Structure 1
């Protein structure tokens, strides 16, 4: 690994354009391959595809609307990008997911570029391969989430700040100004955390690194002006058009979301630690040693590894203290962690006894055992009775193994189990060769294999049950211009696939605020109101959970016809 002091001389001679091209082609394929194969999954994907569809339909890019009512939970940057993609490529799953996938790809390329300048070309290149072969990072980039776009914007901001600190003298102010621009984009991507998180990270860096003098080198006036130029226009326009916006967005969606459980996303304070270890496979086994090395090397690297260390720690601590927790919240920690793991591996690249050997041995042994158990799981006759005694989840798994029509069969477990066991065996053999190149190549291949298998398995075995696509297709076949389309609770995939507004019955959930802005009584009904419509002469179709089927019968008491069934939801007709 090139030391920090020689990083700038290295970047002038390194073939960075060739590196970027190779990375763009390789990971561009992985991030975009078969991107439109699976249907949109509710609620997130349906929501973030439907809002831009409605923006295009209404010709209004200022006020976000969902099921044709105001929706102010998120700023508009992802909506704008998705609207542009839908305009270019049509109303389909590929177009809806493309901006998120490109955000993930650009984050990989950005990590390489910044890593080269902070820690040398070898570390930057290896970090890009680590990030791109992290199973959870790629999988979450292939679904529509605001968090992947936020990750790109936050990473751009924080890398720009780091390059402003450690870069060439003549470019330092440029990078500091770009920091403010990227913070503004992060705010437009997901709100005030786009500035709160960078401020927290930089505060602790200045405190622990004793670098308060940097505050005098930051061009505050021009930087804040650029920040306001990026963020203020939309916030001013949407507030002028919608006076109720400021209180809802800043108070409810920021302060109350952080301090209360109004969105029913409460998890224990340690929630993100196991989630990080799971989503950063296979590199998570190298994390503890990488974090320790970053702390030890902080002075040797002029505190650049201290900055990269504080970046994930502050974000994880921030969201751990929040009352609202979801796995994608920690996506912005992946780029610095990839660099820290790369820094550790690069330091021992030519060593015959690298310090990551015990972690790789443990991972290889675990994969061998887990893969072998998975491969033969359907043959274990004692397993279903044992699972049945462990609770509701265990009973469901037992039914999948040994029910009348078992879902988990030997033909479905032998291949993935064999691949896991084979990878574990190869890792154990590779450790004996004492070759870091072979170990890293195997870990990258394993991560990429997971990245290919997870979307394939999800599209084949789980996506239809979580999507409204088959129900929407059936609704379009059977509905006329006057037919009422309804659903129990909001499922925005129905809106996207039908291109129509739906009546929401029962729990309005995230549409509650919008339903109260103006007169929407004909579109939001309780169960009694809709039952009266259901029993009338007007043709109605409704999407209901399977367990609520009996609540919707025909006027003569007969069962309502089932027009479509995706495994968990039914489309019923009152005729």
Structure 2
């Protein structure tokens, strides 16, 4: 196997040193102020409340949300968060720690995979691209299932190609890592943890005609390992909950993919702007990174590029065809694209700047326009998500990054371009949340009212919410009665007698006017009804732009 030039020039640099530096640098970015901001409804609080209830009940098998059965996702993130809560206490930091470490692990594995496939410098560039991708950084610091899925799927797909790459003897250890991480991906988010890696590998074998891989893959012992890891929880949860199989496998997989039952339908092209926006600034270089992957598949390094392209394209198309779409679904394509972009910049550093020039020019022009728009946005928008100061800071970063990109394109300087992209991305990641998140949290977080209830409510008090608000359960540490719709826990609300916890409007008013202390999260119009029609006038304890926390005491 040819040793890359950069590795021959710097033989003293070790993999261990690279990993240590990357861990320190990106560990700071992924973990800094992780518990500073409140958890956001509904996703972050959902995946914190379920493990909190698991620990409270001493049951790590059956997931409950607001104390009713919740079977939409498998158990891996719940277990990771329960472990984090046990070690560090229940709070925002421990709720986000597993995802942040998963994001960091994805960056480190991308370095390892890029280095093994293309050489040390590509590995470092791959880690820089992924770790300085603002959208990936921000989402990795959120408590969502897609981040552990991204890490486990990256490790699975990467382990496969490291075992099966051409001109190398098959490496059984990497094949077994593939089966292990594919099983963990199933525990992270269900059957896609098996289906998507299987589809990528199938097309890799078909297009390269390397059928002998099927003999090398240790299918028999590998599948034993896969099922030994993935199957036990599914067996136990089905044993304890007969309704799990139909809901999880039929409703949550086949109906979610084939129908609009989850009301998340978006057009086929939905993920194109999502990928462009979330992978800024690197998204401008995706077409150049993918160009020629089929034509050059027989050249040195061509099979690895083909495989990475298949990885990104198949997963992207799969979710684009699905009738259920959310922005985080395509996170598993980011590592493959990051390595391809890293390889593109490596060529530029070796003197082949031409493929970067046009994307750099387009990027510079677009960023200058975005900078101007960010400055003007708070002045013209109704209810903007950022203040004028915030818009000016974010806009200034865009403008500076755009100007540097244009200068680098004119001078054909890949180091200046790379430095501008990395520094601008880090500054944007550090600055943007400080200005955007407080306004966003005011609309989507229930930490303050939950803590008020936890501090004031007596054990016999009833906490009620107009619609499901997971943050109330998590921060108050108690069950919430719901009126005006059960939302995503409708399935669990129909199992057993839940009539005392899922109320019609008359039942809520009767409870409010009864002898028990009641704390209620209501919308503005409902507050007016309580003031006008109830025997006990509401006392306001907290309010946001849309909701009020009131009590009858």
TM-score (normalizing by structure 1): 0.91
Larger mean Cα displacement after TM superposition, 185-194 or 440-449: 440-449
Residue pairs, 1:158-307, within 5 angstroms? 158-166=157-165, 172-300=171-299, 301-307=301-307
Say whether 1:414 aligns with 2:392: yes
Q: Which runs of 5+ in 2 are unaligned?
A: none
| CA deviation map 1:153-174 (0-9, x unaligned) | 0001000100111288566122
Provide the rounded CA distance (Å) in 2 between the counterparts of 1:417 and 1:324: 33
Alpha-carbon shift at residue 374 of structure 1 (Å): 3.2
Report what 1:430 is aligned to: 408
Matches within 5 A, 1:104-503: 104-166=103-165, 172-300=171-299, 301-351=301-351, 353-375=353-375, 384=380, 397-398=381-382, 410-503=388-481
User: 1:137·1:280 contact (CA, 8 Å) conserved in 2?
Assistant: yes
Counterpart Cα distance in 2 of 1:532 and 1:81 = 41
Structure 2 residue aligned with 1:536: 514
- 1:6 corresponds to: 3
Q: Which moved more, 1:362-371 or 1:410-419?
A: 410-419
Offset of residue 242 of structure 1: 1.1
Aligned pairs, how many? 550
- Stretch deviating more after TM superposition (478-487 or 316-325): 478-487
Which aligned pairs between 1:81-100 and structure 2 lie closer than 5 A? 81-100=80-99
1: CA distance, partners of 2:416 / 2:256: 46
Q: Distance in 1 between matches of 2:413 and 2:256?
A: 48
What are the Cα deviations for residues 349-389 of structure 1, in whole angstroms up to 9, with x where unaligned?
A: 1327432111111211222233134335667xxxx5xxxxx
Verify: 1:563 aligned to 2:541, yes or no.
yes
Report the Cα distance in structure 1 between the residues aligned to 2:254 and 2:387, rounded to whole angstroms. 48
Q: Report if aligned partners of 1:8, 1:117 keep a CA contact under 8 Å in 2.
A: no
Classify the secondary structure of the residue corresponding to 2:355. coil
CA deviation string 1:402-447 (max 9, x = no partner): xxxxx86643433222222122222222333322112111101111
Q: How is 1:26-105 mapped onto 2 (pairs within 5 angstroms)?
A: 26-105=25-104
Q: Compute the displacement of 1:7 (Å).
A: 6.2
Q: CA deviation at 1:542?
A: 1.1
TM-superposed deviation, 1:453? 2.1
Normalising by the residue count of structure 2, what TM-score does the alignment of the two structures yield?
0.95
Partner of 1:487, secondary structure, is strand
Question: Residues of 2 paired with 1:431 and 1:481: CA distance?
Answer: 66
Residue 97 of structure 1 contacts residue 143 of structure 1 at CA under 8 Å; is this kept in 2?
yes
What is the deviation of 1:235? 1.0
Tell me the C-alpha RMSD between the 2 structures: 2.2
- Give the Cα–Cα distance (whole angstroms) in 1 for the partners of residues 22 and 552 of structure 2: 55
Q: Indicate the SS of the match to 2:550.
A: strand
